[in-house]
Amino acid sequence: MIPDSVAFCACKGIRRCLLCEKLKESQLPEETVVHLYLYNPESMLAVCKGGEPASFLFPGVFLWEDFLSEEEEKELISSMDKDVWNLSQSGRKKQDFGPKVNFKKKKVRFANFSGLPPLSKKLVLRMQQEESLTGFQPVEQCNLDYQPQRGSAIDPHLDDSWLWGERLVTVNMLSDTVLTMSLERGLPHLGLPGEVNVAVPLPRRSLVMLYGEARHRWKHSILRKDVRERRVCSTYRELSAEFLPGGQYGELGAQLLNVAASFNGTPI
């Protein structure tokens, strides 16, 4: 008989959390990181933690420390906790504000999408004041709740690029953490065969944007060991060129933008 605790887990396939891990037949794969680097936001360099090549340029990451004030963070978390947190994989909980998407079939429908949440309006306006975020108009916001007692994490992955555009923006709240960027095939031209990991520190109340190679080539993840306290994040996604004026799905994109910009949304 499977213990009742499994009812509180949403993991599927290879996903794991502390609630289900011991009950699954297959075990988590061992970490096989070969080359470890630390990202320096001032120099935009990945700096070696050991005896490898000292550093290499790591473009595609923009970090905005103290994007939120303490008061704003408190207000945002209080508002989120008044809504329902739905179970998600790998020990996370989530709240979705966005269209219903089937990425395999490339289908998008509004379902119950009613816009981004009200408190996000001032945050999006603030983002747009930053030169690298000029014209940023998100049509999806995903809130994720990570807690160490659940073994919360998110596996290395690349976000979709059919619907979602160039800039991927995340606001980190309640605790410091680390965004791990990984390249499984390494950087042979730098003498780095095998996997390469670059740790990007995310301070509490900071904003991070991924674009370019960091968005499309390097996978990103939050490792379990880097969730030491409760961590909540909000990830904002903009539309790809196909959903903008002149694109194949430009008319649908215009409708999505109009709904998102109402800022009257509730979690789906």
Query: For the residues of 227-254, what is the DSSP string, one character each?
Result: --S-EEEEEEEEEPGGGSTTSTTHHHHH
The secondary structure element, H or E, covering residue 220 is: strand 219-222
How far does the chain reach from its first CA to its final CA, in angstroms? 33
Judge whether 154 and 90 are in contact, CB under 8 Å.
Answer: yes
Q: For residue 7, what pLDDT band results from cuts at 50, 70 and 90?
A: low
> Is 84's pLDDT higher than 60?
yes
pTM, to two decimals: 0.89
pLDDT at 15 over 90: no
CA 11 – CA 6 distance, rounded (Å):
9
Q: Which pLDDT band holds residue 18 (cuts at 50, 70, 90)?
A: confident
Task: Give me the count of residues in the chain.
Answer: 268
Lowest mean pLDDT among 4-13, 213-222, 240-249: 4-13
Mean pLDDT, the chain, whole residue set = 92
For residue 19, what pLDDT is reported? 74
Compute the distance between CA of residue 216 and CA of residue 207 in angstroms, rounded to an integer.
19
Q: Which residues pair with 154 in a beta bridge?
A: 222
Q: Which CATH architecture has domain 35-260?
A: Sandwich (2.60)
pLDDT band at 32 (very low <50, low <70, confident <90, very high): low
What average pLDDT does the segment 188-209 reach? 95
